[in-house]
Amino acid sequence: TRLQGDWSSDVCSSDLYYSDGNFILCRFKNAEIVLNYLKDNDLLIRGFPNMRSLKQCLRITIGKADEMDQLVDLLKQLERKV
pLDDT digits (tens, 9 = 90+) for 14-37: 677 777 888 888 888 889 999 999
pTM summary value: 0.80
Nearest to 75 by CA among 60, 64, 63, 65: 60
Are the beta carbons of 61 and 4 closer than 8 angstroms?
A: no
Residue that wins the pLDDT comparison between 20 and 1: 20
pLDDT of residue 21: 80
What does the pLDDT look like over 36-78, one tens digit per residue? 999 999 888 899 989 999 999 999 887 888 888 888 888 888 8
Are the beta carbons of 37 and 78 closer than 8 angstroms?
A: yes
Q: How far is CA 81 from CA 46, 52, 77, in A?
A: 22, 27, 7
